[in-house]
C-alpha cells in the first residue's frame, strides 16, 4: 500500500519540522550560555549575565535575551532601583529545556573525547 509509505513520510516531515523548531530556538551563538547562566542562579540581572559569559557584548546579550523572551523561555522584570536594573528568570516552559541541555552536555563530552581525545 502506497498509503502507509505516504503516512510514514508525512510523519517524518512533522518530526523534522519539530527538531528544526527546537534548533531555531536554541541557535544563536550565546543562547545556551544565557539560559545556563540564568537557570544556574535562578534570577539574574543583565549586567550579571554580561559578566558570567566571557566574550559576549551587550548588543548580543540584549538581542538574544529578546529572542528568548519572544519564545517564552525567560521572563523579564524591571526592578525599581536607582538606576533601574532588569532581572531575568526562566519561565516554566524554559525550565523544560533542562533535559535537553543536560543531554547535549553529556553527548558533547563524549563527542569531544571521541574527536579530540581529551
Partner DNA sequence: CTGAATCCAGATGGATACTG
Partner DNA sequence: CAGTATCCATCTGGATTCAG
Q: Which is nearer to DNA, 87 or 101 (CB)?
A: 87
Residue 55 in the binding site for DNA (CB under 7 A): yes
Shortest distance (Å) from residue 1 CB to DNA = 26
Stretch that binds DNA, among 35-43, 50-58, 90-98, 107-115 (CB under 7 A): 50-58
User: What phi, psi does 56 have (nearest 5°)?
Assistant: -75, 145
Stretch that binds DNA, among 11-19, 42-50, 93-101, 105-113 (CB under 7 A): 42-50
Residue 65 in the binding site for DNA (CB under 7 A): yes
Q: Which of 26, 32, 41, 45: binder of DNA (CB under 7 A)?
A: 45
Sequence length of the chain is: 118
Distances in whole angstroms, Cα of residue 13 to Cα of each of 4, 8, 9, 21, 23: 14, 9, 6, 12, 15
With both helix axes pointing from N to C terminus, report the angle between 58-70 and 31-41 in degrees, rounded to the nearest 10: 80
**C-alpha dihedral sign at 33, 38, 40, 44:** positive
Q: What is the DSSP letter of 89?
A: E
- The one of its own copies, DNA, none whose footprint includes residue 38, by CB under 5 to 8 A per kind, is none
The H or E element that residue 45 is part of is strand 43-45
Residues at the contact surface with DNA, assessed by CB under 7 A: 28-29, 45-48, 50, 55-60, 62-63, 65-66, 76, 83-86
Amino acid at each position: 500500500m502506497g498509503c502507509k509509505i505516504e503516512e510514514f513520510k508525512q510523519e517524518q516531515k512533522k518530526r523534522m519540522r519539530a527538531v528544526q523548531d527546537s534548533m531555531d530556538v536554541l541557535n544563536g551563538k550565546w543562547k545556551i550560555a544565557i539560559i545556563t547562566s540564568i537557570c544556574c542562579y535562578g534570577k539574574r540581572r543583565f549586567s550579571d549575565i554580561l559578566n558570567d559569559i566571557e566574550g559576549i557584548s551587550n548588543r548580543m546579550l540584549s538581542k538574544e535575551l529578546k529572542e528568548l523572551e519572544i519564545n517564552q523561555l525567560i521572563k523579564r522584570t524591571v526592578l525599581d532601583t536607582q538606576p533601574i536594573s532588569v532581572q531575568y528568570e526562566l519561565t516554566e516552559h524554559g525550565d523544560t529545556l533542562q533535559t535537553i541541555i543536560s543531554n547535549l552536555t553529556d553527548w558533547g563530552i563524549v563527542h569531544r573525547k571521541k574527536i579530540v581525545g581529551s
